[in-house]
A and B are shown apart, each in its own frame.
Chain A
């Protein structure tokens, strides 16, 4: 028995029919072709599938698509505007925070959510905010640097 759901995805209203046993991650990737969110473990243990649900980071593999009915979803494809990168994305580029890139979309979104809530986090707060996003390439050092730089940039600009 399929279900009709309505969501706002990256600012656009979306209405589609889904099987109730499909996860939000699968629907985003397979139905909406938003493949930025990755399937790293499909058990909520790695964070590669992170998207923002009403602005808060969630593991989209651990959520049924039907549960997103009526909510606002932001994926990595929805960041930035007018062809410009979001400051967090730009910082990841500038700081060499990207290696294989498989964790990157989820990592960027976790950082964006943190900075929305707490524009000038400490390093400990940054590390806490991305603790649900496993990375096997970087040792997190340059990722933390990148996020901290956005916070410092905000400080300078304010």
Chain B
């Protein structure tokens, strides 16, 4: 790795001030697993690295029935995966977290970092998009909250500016009679990147799909929702044909590329199949919950 200076601000304000001063010459480090890859490959050569580890209050997961779940910027992927709160209220998120790399990496990597690196194939963004997550960032002008729907702007790019620090991720309360799922398609069962990732979240009301979010990974420049698939489903009674149509709509809408991990055509075909499967799982969860309530 090249030489750089390392900073450990003690407060968020100090971190923002440092970043504001350094501009494009600095990068933030939280878990570091993505940044270290970029530094070792010389994709990035910042003069300054600003570590968030001395800033208090960023490493907590909290849950409130009315506000939902809040994940601090330094919460590791492994902490989310194993959190009893996440497992209870957002099992699809816990599962998605468990599919990322290895336990060793998940003990270092943060969910916030997984979002901020904005890799098209990242594992947590699709499920976070499906769950309606938003993020809070702190900059020189104070805090702002951004829906994850508007967060990603391109591969490796987000709406955050160089002087902003993402401080927390919020997920709204899971509605009643709802379910969510994430399916990662990769050759191996561990240590792999998604060739395609599909997340679905749905809420059932009187046997009809009252709310639905489908989010896709690795088939567009950014993780993104499939409005077309959602439109097919919304307001309808789910059956096999409807789910197949939704899968076809998602496949038609996505814009995958061909690379060493898979061809565009195969990725597209997998979106169709996995969207159906993710919906089946999400709806099964919603139905189970509906039965419990009755």
Binding site for B on A (CB under 8 A): 1, 3, 19-23, 42-45, 47, 50, 53, 56-59, 61-64, 66-67, 110, 113, 128-129, 131-134
Contacts and interface: CB of A to CB of B under 8 A. Distances in A.
B4 to A, nearest CB: 6
A44 B49 contact: no
Interface in B35-83: 36-37, 39-40, 49, 51, 53, 78
B190 A20 contact: no
Interface residues of B, number: 27
A56 B107 CA distance: 7
Contact of B107 (A21, A42, A53): A53
Contacts of B36: 23, 44, 61-64
A58 B104 contact: yes
B2 interface: yes
Contacts of B6: 1, 3, 20, 64, 66
B140 to A, nearest CB: 25
Given A64-B32, A113-B103, A128-B103, 12 more contacts: A20-B4, A21-B39, A23-B1, A23-B36, A43-B40, A44-B101, A44-B104, A61-B36, A62-B37, A67-B29, A131-B102, A132-B190
Nearest to B7: A20
A61 B101 CA distance: 14
Nearest to B41: A43
A131 B32 contact: no
A47 B102 contact: yes
Interface of B: 1-6, 29, 32-33, 36-37, 39-40, 49, 51, 53, 78, 101-105, 107-108, 189-191
B51 A50 contact: no
A44 B105 CA distance: 7
Given A66-B6, A132-B104, A56 B40 contact: no
Contacts of B37: 43-44, 62
A4 to B, nearest CB: 12
B171 to A, nearest CB: 25
A56 B53 CA distance: 17
A43 to B, nearest CB: 6
Contacts of A19: 3
